[in-house]
Structure 1
Amino acid sequence: MSIAPGAAAPLQPASATLEIEHPKPSFPSDHRAAATSRQRLLETPIEFVCSASFDATAMEQQARQTLTDLMTQDPLDGDLPQYLPGHLARLCECSRLDPPEEKRLFRTMNFLKFRAQERRLQIREDQPAPELLAAIEEDLQNAERVRNHIIRANTRLVFSVIRKFVNPQHSFDDLLSDGIFTLIRAVDKFDTDRGFRFSTYAYRAITSNTCRKIANRQKELARQAASANPLIHESLESPTPSGMNEQTWTQLNDVLMQLIQRLDRREQLILRSRHALGSHRTTHTFQDLANRLGISKERVRQLEHRAVQKLRNWAAEQAVQDLVDPVLT
């Protein structure tokens, strides 16, 4: 179209002649999410078991090699527990750890947490330090990867312990959830520098926690029965774990008897008689024992208290105090 000189150009629709530049949207929610994530990363406690080896340069190399090995490791094809259904047996697909590998994995996991903590201490509140935050998050993610591998490699230990306690009152699934939780806590607390295998430490922890759960459950059932039948109330006043089934009580005795053998003969008699341990299937009063031993009732009470304190101290040394407490309370 031609336009005469001096004539005004015809108006065109704005959409045909102008490119409207829209302002770039801001995402305050993203900023808030990033700030929240940063705050969480800085405030969440990092639990780890410290070691003098963390200061060594070799620890950095070991951590890198361990993570590389985990990335290329294949799951176990066979050697799965035959007594478990398929969905549970698959939880045991990870190979068992030999002592050197176990030690290396635990040290790597704790070193990564230690390094994350050290890096976190370098961050100042007035500086974002995004690269440092990314390194901390990577350390924690890698530590979690190692931790999960240790848990999977020891899951079959939970199965082997709790299956001994299964009965009509305590199902396998009920005990399994507590057993797995105890295993996870044991992984977080285990110290390789103490010189024994993790399986020893975890076995004690799982066994004692399972026994405590069963004892507490039996006491609760007994209280419920007592509320329906006042005649049962008197038996609940005694320190014996009322209502505990024969199988569970035998398993408790196997562990307790090893500790009780360290007491002198009089203390053993009092403790077994008062708490129905070993061959004693009924509890005896302080007066019964006083008549039998030819001492005062108060003296029997003192001897029992002393014996219980000894057992608890010895149990604490062996990390099985949770097993003793439910029986002797």
Structure 2
Amino acid sequence: MAIGDVEAVPNSTDVYYVDTGMYEVEHYGSVYLIDAEKPALIDTGIAADREHVFGMLDELGVDDLAYILPTHVHLDHAGGAGYLAERYPDATLMTHEIGAPHLVDPSRLVAGTKAAVEDQWRFYDEPLPIDEDRVESLTDGDEIDLGDRTLTVHHAPGHAPHQVMYHDDRDDLLFTGDALGIWEPRSRTLLQTSPPSQFHLEKALDDVRTIEDIDPETICFGHFGSRPYDDDLAAEYKRVLVEWVEAIRQKREELDDDEAVITHFVENTEMDEVWGVRKAQDEERLNVRGVLGYLDYIEDDE
């Protein structure tokens, strides 16, 4: 699968995803279409990659969207929302109630993203604001009627307080956003995602337990693509998270210098042969900074 390619989610009914080419990397960013009686798009990718999302919708003959449903408002999942809203004027945009105001006025979100992603901002376009009357808030337990199926909303605040997951009752798919980490299909590696400034380990582990309770047939990752779910996958991600945070805690204790901690993990990334040196190092830098912020937060809270 190459950038811009569209594939059907295995064992699904009219559910597809596109490789958005996020950060100019294959197999990193995916956006999903549920081509239901009331078609819905799950996530949007960053604004700069919107043409690949438009291309999927055109290729599949979707003339109208009923819903645009970011799992959360980080700009790699919701940055293209305003452009999609402009292209599909009858679509309703829905996301968690904490994040919904940022679709209407994305200025604070842009500032926070620039601070978090640093040099990666060059891959972004500015998001477009969306009229308030087109944006609806979601909360845990809400249901979205797509006509021939229902999506149930599950709050998943560990990665970000405005994150939700969507469970498709027809095909037993769970669209997890970043709640189950990053699935890299070529190396078959499950990786942590712990960006600043609101990553929270205990809440992230609770999100995985929510996934275990749902026990879906298939996981649809925001990064990247779909794969069958089993209990081993959830157990693996809990282990990945705990070991990742502990490794950073120990390295901080050893070096007593946060910049040195970041440099250590950046220089020792194991994903450079998969994503390329640039993206692999950017990913490490982002995720280490998120854990350092979390460690500061729990220390201040004690």
TM-score bin (small chain):
under 0.3
TM-score, scaled relative to structure 2: 0.24
- Tell me the TM-score normalised to structure 1 length: 0.22
Greater per-residue helix proportion = 1
